[in-house]
Amino acid sequence: MVSVSKGALEASICRDSFYDFVLRFWDTIIAEDMADNWHIKYLCDELQTVAERVFKGLPKDYDLVINISPGTTKSTICSIMYPAWIWTNMPTARCICGSYAHALAMDLSRKGRDIIQSEKYRELFGDLQLREDQNTKAYYVNTDGGYRVAVGTGGAITGMHGHFIIIDDPLNPTEAVSEVELKSANRWMKGTLPTRKVNKEVTPTILIMQRLHQDDPSANMVAKGKEPGYKVRHICLPAEIDEGNRKEVKPRRLIRNYIDGLMDAERLSRKVLNQNKIDLGMYGYSGQFLQRPVPLGGGMFKTDRIELSVAPKRWKQRVRFWDKAGTKDGGAYTAGVLLGEDVEGIFWILDVVRGQWESHEREKIIRQTAQADGVRVIVGVEQEPGSGGKESAQNTVKRLRGFRVKVLRPTGDKVLRADPFSVQVNGSNVKMRIAPWNRDCLEEMQFFPYSKYKDQIDAVAGAFTLLTAHRVRVGGLGR
C-alpha cells in the first residue's frame, strides 16, 4: 500500500477542483468567513472546463462571457484565484489580466500574488516559486516561465502573449455613457487583445462584467459568437428576476437555483438590492444588477407606452427632420424622421429614412424624400457647430428650393434635447405607424442614452422641437 501524506492529498484535491481550491485558499486573502452560494461552484466549474482544454493543448470550444452583479465574489474567483490555481496545473501558463484602470488591475494581481506567496500555497505547491528579479504587483514570473501581467483598458501589452486572457470590468460603470471610453474599450477588446494570444486556436478570452451599454464589450463578444467559426458561451446572472426579466438568465436552466427570485439571498438580499436601487438610480441598478443596460420597458423612453397603429389621414402639421452623417459606411447614420401631430393632439412617428451615405448621395436622398413627402411637410435640418456645419446646412437648404425648410442649431447635450419628446412618450401621447423600420427605431429609443446609435433620437427630438415651437399651419389641415 502506498501512503499519501495529508499535504499531497490536499494538493491533489486543489489541482483537480478549482472550487475546492477556492474553499481552501479563501482565508489567505479575505478575513471574513466565506458565504458560499450555488453560483460560486457553478462559475468555478465553468472556468475549470475552459482551463482544462488549455492544459491539454486542445483548441478552445468557445470564449467565455460572464455578466454578473458586483458583490458576488466575481473578481475574487475570476481575477485573483483563477490564475493562481491555473499555475498548480500548468506552471508555464502566461496570464494577461485586465481591468478598466491599471491601478485596479494591479490590486487584483497583488492579491493573486499574496495567495502564491502564502504559507499554505508554499506547503502544497512548494516547487512553484516566483522569481526575485521579476516580482512586482503588475508583473511577476515564476521559475517555470509562467507569468501574470496586469493591464488597464487601452494599455499596451507589447511583447506579451497569453495562454489565458482574463478581462474583469473593462469599462468603468460611471463612464459607460461616455462615447470616448466605450469606443476605447471596444477597440482594445477587438483590436489589441486578439493579437496577444500564444495560440489563437487554444487561448481563451474570458470577459467578466456587468451590462452597462447596448454596445458594451460583452454585447460585442456575444454578437460575435453568432458569426460562423466563432463560439461564445454566455453566462448571465441577474441579481433578481421576475416575470419580466427571466429571459436574461443564461443558461435558462439556472433559474431553478434562484430562491424567491434572488440569485444570492445572503449577499444580495432584498434590503441590499433596494439600497442599491436608491444609490445607483434606475439606469445604474438595471445595468449592474439586472444585467440590462436600461430598465424593463425603457429608461428615458418608456417604449412599451408607444402604440403601433395605422396612421390617420388628417394632420395639424408634419415635420421631417434630418440628423446628418457625412461619411459613407463610417459608423454613424444619417436619419430623417417624419413626425406628425394629428387633430387630436397625438404625436406620430410616421417614417424613418436612414442610411450610411457619402454627402452627395445623402443630399440626393434628402431631396427625393422631400418630394415624396410633399410641400406641406416642413423639412428640418440640423446645423452642426463650426463653419463646416453652417456650410453643410446652407447647401441642403439650397437643394431644397421650393420646400419649407427650417434650420435648427441645437444646444445642450443629446439627452437634454430628447427630454421634451420623452415626456410625450412616457405620457402615452406618441404613436408609431406600423412599418418595417419600427424595430430599429424602438430599440434605439429603448436603450437611449446607452444605445449604440443615437441618430434616430436626435432626428425625432429635432422634429419635435420644430413641430411644437412653430406649429405653422400649411394650407389648413393636410392630407
Instruction: Give the pLDDT confidence of 435-477 residue by residue, as tens digits.
Output: 999 999 998 998 888 788 889 999 999 999 999 885 544 333 3
- Residue that is written with C-alpha cell 475546492 in the block: 20
Provide the sign of the torsion angle of the four alpha carbons 308, 312, 313, 319, taken in this order: negative
Is residue 367 domain-shared with residue 237, that is, in the same domain? no
pLDDT for residue 340: 95
Is residue 310 domain-shared with residue 284, that is, in the same domain? no
Q: What is the pLDDT of residues 170-209, one digit of tens each?
A: 998 877 667 788 889 999 999 999 999 999 999 999 999 9
Residue 88 lies in a domain: yes
Residue 295 lies in a domain: no
Is residue 179 domain-shared with residue 247, that is, in the same domain? yes
Q: Does residue 101 contact residue 107 with C-beta atoms inside 8 Å?
A: no
pLDDT for residue 311: 94
- Residue that is written with C-alpha cell 451590462 in the block: 211
Residue 3's pLDDT band (cuts 50, 70, 90): low
Instruction: State which residues form the domain around 280.
Output: 6-289
Q: Round to whole Å and give the CA distance between 365 and 98.
A: 45
CATH number, domain with residue 239:
3.40.50.300
Which of 34-48, 258-272, 379-393 shows the lowest per-residue confidence on average (mean pLDDT)?
Answer: 379-393
Q: What is the pLDDT of residues 137-170, one digit of tens each?
A: 899 999 999 999 999 999 988 889 999 999 999 9
pLDDT for residue 174: 78
SS (H, E, C) 166-221: EEECCCCHHHCCCHHHHHHHHHHHHHHHHHCECCCCCCCEEEEECCCCCCCHHHHH
pLDDT for residue 307: 95
Q: Which of 63-67, 280-284, 407-411 has the highest mean pLDDT?
A: 63-67
pLDDT for residue 312: 93
Is residue 232 domain-shared with residue 314, that is, in the same domain? no
Is residue 47 domain-shared with residue 121, that is, in the same domain? yes
At 328 the three-state DSSP class reads coil
pLDDT for residue 473: 41
Is residue 240 domain-shared with residue 198, that is, in the same domain? yes
- Read off the C-alpha cell for 251: 443558461
Residue 165 lies in a domain: yes
Query: In the listed set 241, 256, 289, which residue is the last one of a domain according to the structure?
Result: 289
Is residue 63 domain-shared with residue 39, that is, in the same domain? yes
Q: Round to whole Å and give the CA distance between 103 and 274.
A: 30
pLDDT for residue 214: 83
Query: In the listed set 267, 289, 311, which residue is the last one of a domain according to the structure?
Result: 289
Query: In the listed set 260, 289, 318, which residue is the last one of a domain according to the structure?
Result: 289
Residue 478 has pLDDT above 50, yes or no: no
The average pLDDT across 20-29 equals: 96
Element (H, E) at 67: strand 63-68
φ, ψ (nearest 5 deg) of residue 141: -130, 140
Residue 476 lies in a domain: no
Is residue 29 domain-shared with residue 170, that is, in the same domain? yes
Is residue 431 domain-shared with residue 341, that is, in the same domain? yes
CA Rg value for the chain: 27
Residue 246 has pLDDT above 60, yes or no: yes
Is residue 241 domain-shared with residue 373, that is, in the same domain? no
The pTM for the full model equals 0.74
pLDDT for residue 177: 64
φ, ψ (nearest 5 deg) of residue 468: -90, -25
Residue 72 lies in a domain: yes
pLDDT for residue 202: 97
The pLDDT mean for the chain works out to: 90
Q: Round to whole Å and give the CA distance between 296 and 302.
A: 9
Residue 297 lies in a domain: no
CATH number, domain with residue 347:
3.30.420.240
Q: What is the pLDDT of residues 76-106, one digit of tens each?
A: 999 999 999 999 999 999 999 999 999 999 9
Residue 446 lies in a domain: yes
Is residue 283 domain-shared with residue 348, that is, in the same domain? no
Is residue 333 domain-shared with residue 247, that is, in the same domain? no
pLDDT for residue 66: 98
Number of structural domains in the chain: 2
Residue 391 lies in a domain: yes
